[in-house]
Amino acid sequence: MRLVVLGSTGSIGRQTLEVAAWRGWRVVGLAAGKNAERLAEQIERHRPEVVYAHRQAREALAPRFAGLRWADDPAEVAAWPAEAAVAAIPGLAGLGPVRAAVESGKRVALANKEAMVAAGPLIWAAAEASGAALLPVDSEHSALFQALQGERIPEVAELILTASGGPFLREPEDLERVTPEMALRHPRWRMGPKVTVDSATLFNKGLEVLEAKEFFRVPLERIRVLVHPQAYIHGLVRFRDGSLKAQLGPTDMRLFIQYALTHPERAATPLVEAPIPERLELFPPDTERFPALDLAYRAGAKGPLAQVAANAADEVAVAAFLSGRIPFTRIPRLIERVIEEAPNGPLDWEGLYATDAWARRRSEELL
């Protein structure tokens, strides 16, 4: 299989390349950011046909890799001739490449939740027009996708996403004193700084609720979150007869990446003998301690442009927290204000980007 990896130097991108090595796939395109050293290693190992990198990394690497085709936009890599693309560029910056990959008719393994949160109906319309296949990479959405195989959506009573609870599930009691260093110490996952902070506020789980709403095209009120500190049950589906189906497994993203790229087949992996936890807990989240989770529901209930605005406000707020401009507890308050002021209206590409730009400006004003 010919594969392009969007966000190749990030956590999902690096693990995708490990999966490609397991399977012997040909990596023909890489899209990366500023990490020139890691990108250089990937170019040397995989010898791609096309590469995108941030200008700073490209200038450092271009003399070293004479003759390599450098793309001016990650969307060019996304559209490169290949059977599949892994879309792992974080934030709304990843939406354009996702759109390009979908419009080119590929199998798209979607690790960018913001694409569905902000543009779910538009992405599905593009997929239906091009014949592209969309499969989720996020562990929770992959779990739901797997549990739904052979089932009918009208018979689903609810989708249940699980959350580890992040680093502040029980302490410290006073979240006002949380520092960026504390927020970046996730007990289970190794992720980029933005998604790690989102996991600490539980807004990441809120974004996943909105992603599930758009990906599976089910009503918001039929999606629930339960805290599961062991992070072994990744998602559950309850059916209208009361029965439950769940997907369980080790917290290793390579499983979900591979499944998205090989479905309906399940290829063998080195993880087949991973241990099973002796204790599994499930309980409701504390939305007073973590109000950001409820904000995602509020955005979803208000409409698609509110989802766009909430995502943009979160990106600005998290960046401000990481740079020391605002305390941890200001993140949900800023998102709430932007949701309240967000416009209503139909979703189209022009309105999406206009709302995103407005929300970022307004968030900066509110800081």
Residue 53's closest CA among 85, 7, 4? Answer: 7
pLDDT band at 185 (very low <50, low <70, confident <90, very high): confident
Torsion from C-alpha of 225, 120, 107, 315, nearest 10 degrees: -70
Q: What is the pLDDT of residues 294-306, one digit of tens each?
A: 999 999 999 999 9
Average pLDDT of the segment spanning 220-244 = 96
Residue 7's closest CA among 113, 140, 126, 157? Answer: 113
- Measured over the CA atoms of residue 222, residue 225, residue 226 and residue 228, the dihedral's sign is positive
What's the distance, CA 352 to chain centroid?
Answer: 18
Q: What is the pLDDT of residues 145-179, one digit of tens each?
A: 999 999 999 999 999 999 999 899 989 999 999 99
| Largest separation between any pair of C-alpha atoms in the chain | 63
Average pLDDT of the segment spanning 80-104 = 97
pTM value? 0.93
Residue 358's closest CA among 298, 285, 309? Answer: 309
Domains (range + CATH), the chain = 2-136 (3.40.50.720)
